[in-house]
Amino acid sequence: MVPPPLVFLLLLQGGLLLLGAAGMLLLDLPFGQANPRELPYALGLFLALALLEEAFRRLFPTSFREAEGLHRALGQALRQAGVRPPALVFLALLSGVAEEVFFRGLLQSLFIAWWGPLGLGLQAVAFALLHPAPKRAFAYPLFTGAAGLLLGATYLLTGSLLPGILAHFLHNARGFYEISRS
């Protein structure tokens, strides 16, 4: 039997992937093609996300401790439910793919078509809103919004979701590794 916290996360990410991919296919939006030249973008983006997170951690230490407390509680719930590292790696991959397809591939493409460059910021706000945090962790939505801007700008620059998917997966995998060890 799959543990309830994992079921919730899988349903959430699976739903985002289904909505995003269906929307992109119906609207004939580009996913991009695998291109080895995109690997440096993915690695640079992963590094940029790590630096951004560290900057927010230093600028807003109390707020980030609150957000990390929420992440630790999630990690504890997953561990108590018997979720093993392979499932966490799969969840990191699923969330990276699903969130990039939904937020950058579908929402950002639609928002930019409707509102021009403002669409980049609007998808980042939507991305931040879907990453809730405790009230005292006010900086976490700012961090996720800034991360959404970086991920969205990379999609605009490369025309491919792959660099964002890889960077997002690596970022989430690092986070799941940390919460599984704490």
Could you tell me if residue 17 is inside a domain? Answer: no
Number of domains in the chain: 1
Could you tell me if residue 68 is inside a domain? Answer: yes
Could you tell me if residue 28 is inside a domain? Answer: no
Could you tell me if residue 136 is inside a domain? Answer: yes
Could you tell me if residue 36 is inside a domain? Answer: no
The backbone region for 32, taken as left when phi is positive above 0, alpha when psi lies in -120 to 50, beta otherwise, is: left
| pLDDT at residue 5 in the model | 76
| Segment 39-76, tens digit of pLDDT | 899 999 999 999 999 999 999 999 999 988 888 888 88
With 0-12 / 13-18 / 19 or more C-beta atoms within 10 angstroms meaning exposed / middle / buried, residue 95 is buried
Could you tell me if residue 1 is inside a domain? Answer: no
Q: Which domain holds residue 83?
A: 61-182
| pLDDT at residue 146 in the model | 97
pTM for the full model? 0.93
| Segment 119-174, tens digit of pLDDT | 999 999 999 999 888 788 889 999 999 999 999 999 999 999 999 999 999 999 99
Could you tell me if residue 45 is inside a domain? Answer: no
CB-based contact 46:171 (threshold 8 Å): yes
Q: 107 is written with which tokens? A: 């929402």
CA proximity to 128, closest of 138, 136, 115, 118 = 138
Could you tell me if residue 26 is inside a domain? Answer: no
CB-based contact 45:173 (threshold 8 Å): no
User: How far is Cα 13 from Cα 5, in angstroms, rounded to an integer?
Assistant: 12
30-34, 101-105, 143-147, 148-152 — which is least confidently predicted? Answer: 30-34
